[in-house]
Amino acid sequence: MAESRPVLDIVAPFLNEAQSASAFAALLDKLEAEVSRRFGMEVHKILVDDGSRDDGAERFSQALSGSWEIVRLSRNFGKEVAVLAGLDQSRGAMALVMDADLQHSMDTSLKMITELVENPDIDVVYAQNDRREASWRRSQLAKLFYSLINSSQRFDIPENAGDFRVMRGAVVRALTSLRDKRRFNKGLFAWAGFRQKAIAYSPENRVTGKSKWSRLNLIAFSLEGFTSFSVIPLRIISLSGMLAALAGIIYGAKVFFEVMFYGIAVPGYPSLMVAVVLLGGLNLTLLGLIGEYVWVTLSESKDRPVYIVRDVVRGDVSGRPPGA
Ligand code: UDP
Ligand code: MG
């Protein structure tokens, strides 16, 4: 039997990235060579096909070399879930999560791995996007989002940190033990705790294909973050309800006194209209928000698996079982 070296699992989800398959496989090969040379680690690649409609899985399976597996999900479950599906297969001493669209560079990956190998007191190293390219409005919005979501909990969700990170096996096991169905990875990573360290990076430009994030997607994603990690929106609801009620009481008192002491006839139509429309709108918005929370509760309470695997394609030159 060969000597057993520690294994680094590389987890990469992909959705319709056939165009980047050969380039990404080449990047993984280079990364594997470096990791083996510098740290004497073996690399096992775990790709997750998140319901691609192109022939990506086929192309990846032709392009990949060494020890790899492609977990094909039965449909598109979203990147957050695809990452979990990959981590579920990870048995190594460390796991690196990266995108398959070439936006996450080999340099940053190596930097993170080095950091983790050299610092036994750190359990997670994550890449923090320095957002050099983002517009001012976008970055202000991101700031607002993080300050709101972080205002009510015991752990902070770091700004601009995504799935691109290296973790020790213990962290992987902690994360995969969290079976939230509506997953907000940024929050789960933070919730799990451990000693984490950030390193700055800026993502490469996308060379092929396109980002799956539309503006609408981003809004939905932020709402997901709120409803699974924050009670702040509910507090805002209660507060605005109380303020509206207070305003109503004060206005009511004013009308009462005017009628009692000055006998002013009540000219009500415009103010009534404003109040009705305003409160009606507010009511519907807030009901919708409560609905979001109820929906989260409902989807979490159904006893469904987080994802379904269609099949797993394996390739292993050495003939060893993956991760052994
Ligand atoms: N991805 C996925 N499932 C999805 C959406 C995206 O597996 O539903 C993959 C995608 O193929 C890529 C990574 O997740 O490898 C990051 O996605 P994307 O490039 O769209 O996000 P961005 O880089 O714009 O944040
Ligand atoms: Mg991308």
Q: In the predicted model, is pLDDT for residue 317 greater than 90? A: no
Task: Compute the CA torsion angle 186, 192, 193, 196 (nearest 10 deg).
Answer: -50
| pLDDT band at residue 202 using 50, 70 and 90 as cut-offs | confident
On the CB side of 130, how many CA atoms lie within 13 Å of its CA?
7
Summarize the confidence of residues 259-263 as an average pLDDT: 82
The predicted structure's pLDDT at residue 324: 43
The Cα 116–Cα 106 span in angstroms is 15
End-to-end CA distance of the chain: 11
Q: In this predicted structure, what is the pLDDT of residue 271?
A: 77
For residue 297, what pLDDT is reported?
Answer: 86
Per the CB < 8 A criterion, the answer to whether 36 and 7 are in contact is no
Residue located nearest, by CA, to atom 21 of ligand 1: 211
Query: For the residues 100-115, what does the mean pLDDT come to?
Result: 93
- Whether residue 203 is predicted with pLDDT greater than 70 in this model: the reply is yes
Torsion of the alpha carbons at 207, 14, 217 and 202, rounded to the nearest 10 = -50
Residue with the smallest CA separation from ligand 1 atom 5 is 79
Average pLDDT value for the chain: 86
pLDDT at 76 over 90: yes
132-151 pLDDT tens trace:
666 777 778 888 888 888 88
pLDDT of 111 reads 94
99, 138, 217, best to mutate for ligand 1 pocket (most atoms within 8 Å of CB): 99
Q: Quote the CA–CA distance of 117 and 174 in Å, as a whole number.
A: 20
pLDDT at 22: 92
153 CA to centre of ligand 2 in angstroms: 29
Are 64 and 26 in contact, with CB atoms under 8 Å apart? Answer: no
Tell whether the model's pLDDT for residue 31 goes beyond 80. Answer: yes
Contact 174/196 with Cβ under 8 angstroms?
A: no
Cα of 102 to ligand 2 centre, how many Å? 7
Say how far apart CA 139 and CA 45 lie, in whole Å: 33
Predicted confidence at residue 323, as pLDDT, reads 46
Ligand nearest to the CA of 12: 1
Single-letter residue type at 306: V
